Amino acid sequence: MLLLLALLMPIPSCAPATAVPASEANTLPWRGNESGAYRQGHKDGSGDKRAGRASAPKTGEGADYLLGYQDGYRYPNDNPWSRQRAYQLGQEYGRRDQLAGQTADPARHANVVPRAVRDEFIQGYRVSRR
């Protein structure tokens, strides 16, 4: 019985913690979730918090929206499109393209991030393809 319980317990991660630049120390860690619904929820949540309103996410918007709203309300000054996140998303898209056997072309996906962080996305993409 004890062996079964030990097998069911989560194994702690042995991966080293990555350093976060001081400019991003008060932001959320990258969740790998930057869907349109998440970003809209984040915008609504941070707007409510900064305006001093009670937490009141829109109903029926889905799980991504709700997670974004909660994150935005908790961290109203966080930008879900930070440079670090765009870089990491670029890496993810680069790895996906490589696994799919596609040519290295970050411009194919660059429109998934705002122009302000597009260079970081492209850098992350290129690093992942080396």
Measured in whole angstroms, the distance separating CA 2 from the mean position of its chain's CA atoms is 38
Total-model pTM: 0.49
Each residue's pLDDT tens digit, 17-45: 333 343 443 455 555 556 788 888 988 99
Confidence at residue 39, expressed as pLDDT on a 0 to 100 scale: 82
Could you give the C-alpha distances from 115 to 77, 86, 106, 128, in angstroms and in order?
A: 20, 10, 13, 20
Is the model more confident about 2 or about 54? 54
* pLDDT for 23: 43
CA dist., res. 36 & res. 72, Å (int): 14
For residue 10, pLDDT beyond 70: no
Instruction: Work out the average pLDDT over 47-53.
Output: 93
